[in-house]
Chain A
Amino acid sequence: MKVTITVNGKTHENDVEPRTLLVQYVRETLGLTGTNIGCDTSSCGACSLHLNGESVKSCTVLAVQADGGTVTTIEGLAKDGVMHPMQQAFMDNHGLQCGFCTPGMVMAAIGLLNENPSPTEEQVRIGLEGNLCRCTGYHNIVKSVLACADNK
């Protein structure tokens, strides 16, 4: 089936099998491998990206469901070689260790602040409930998100 999806500002037209997952589409069809596949069961959040401006788990969305939509992946955040403030905050606050969860964590964190620009620490922790970090780096991840909040 033919789908038209705008990813990181560029519109793509591709013929996909209906069973193609959105995460497969961005990784394999478009070659954007920054979005990781972790648990593959919508638990870990590693595959989080933005669909029409909201964070979703792209292992549990079909590419055909995103037809006509707008997607932002981790590759779409930096502008002209300058990192997005959330990426910079993760770097400044040591918000990552192995880095596997980081793309999903950053996308979920940006989505969180889009919906609640001035969260409390508790709201950040609850807001990131869908993203797992196996290096147990939550403390610095929360610190990174709070550094980007309007009420920092």
Chain B
Amino acid sequence: MIPAPFDYKRASSAAEAISLVSEYGEDAKFLAGGHSLLPLMKLRLAQPAVLIDIARIEDLSYIRDAGNHIAIGALTRHMDVEKSPILAEHVPLLSFAASHVGDPQVRHRGTIGGSIAHADSASDLPATTLALGATYVVQGPNGTREIAAADFYKGFLESALAPDEMLTEIRVPKMNGATWGFQKFNRRAQDWAIVGVAAWKRGTESGVGLVNMGSVPVLATSVAKAIAGGASIGDAAKLAGAEAEPQSDLNASAQYRVHLAEVLVRRALESTSK
């Protein structure tokens, strides 16, 4: 399978990328690692007239300690998120989740920014950064703005990004000793999660994100509220499906997904993943 024809442009800076996307409008798509976009283009589910290759913008691949949070450049590859000593120390939930994206070959190409901008509720990193209370920095023709992860996901593969904006940085609060767990239920190692859970807990504070439990990544706020109110993990986990609107598909019925979410939330909150 070969994608439909398109014009190919290469940007060497974020400013050039935004100027190019402003010129071509909604006919253009950014290309980073291409591991979400190219499969869609091969299946003709996406048919952009112009691809703007942003992968060579060198200053958007970094992981920096920024005090109370870690700043991650949008073009940082999954493999670099997985292996980052800074993230292993301060946001281990994120590096662990990144190690479960696809397979090594995919992680050598795919980027954290691409995964988030693609806004697929079945992907691991949107729900994980949502659970962690991340903020996304986006750049457009009129400068930059910050969008809370909780305000970013609008619908199936839809985000708060305007057509002429580009995600440039992901800011993830340090976990400061929180316990955490990441649970991914699938049939084969490299598959998308049938249901996934990213969760952390520090005393009565917690954050729980659900993968593939609806058209958008889900923040399970009822679970966090119950834990803040003194509920046991087991009781709180029973509320895992409260904010979710899961679909039935070949792999699982909606009802089974809710059951999985309850079990996996409990497991994720009870023990730290290794």
B-binding residues in A (CB < 8 A): 1, 17-21, 24, 40-43, 45, 48, 51, 54-57, 60-62, 64-65, 108, 111-112, 115, 126-127, 129-131
Contacts and interface: CB of A to CB of B under 8 A. Distances in A.
B29 to A, nearest CB: 13
Q: What class of interface size applies to chain B in its complex with A?
A: 20 to 34
A35 B90 CA distance: 40
A65 B106 CA distance: 15
A55 B55 contact: no
Contacts of B31: 62, 65
Interface of B: 1-8, 31, 34-35, 38-39, 42, 51, 53, 55, 79, 102-106, 108-109, 189-190
Contacts of B38: 60-62
A57 B8 contact: no
21 contacts: A18-B5, A18-B6, A19-B4, A19-B6, A20-B2, A41-B42, A42-B102, A51-B108, A54-B79, A57-B105, A60-B34, A60-B38, A61-B38, A61-B109, A62-B34, A65-B34, A65-B53, A111-B104, A130-B103, A130-B106, A131-B103
B104 A127 contact: yes
Contacts of B105: 42, 45, 48, 55-57, 108, 111, 130
Contacts of B6: 18-19
Contacts, number: 79
Contacts of A60: 34-35, 38-39, 106, 109
Given A62-B34, A64-B53, 6 more contacts: A19-B5, A40-B1, A45-B105, A57-B109, A60-B109, A130-B104
Contacts of A17: 5
Nearest to A43: B190
A126 B53 contact: no
B2 A24 contact: yes
Contact of B189 (A24, A51, A126): A126
A126 B102 CA distance: 11
Contacts of A130: 102-106, 190
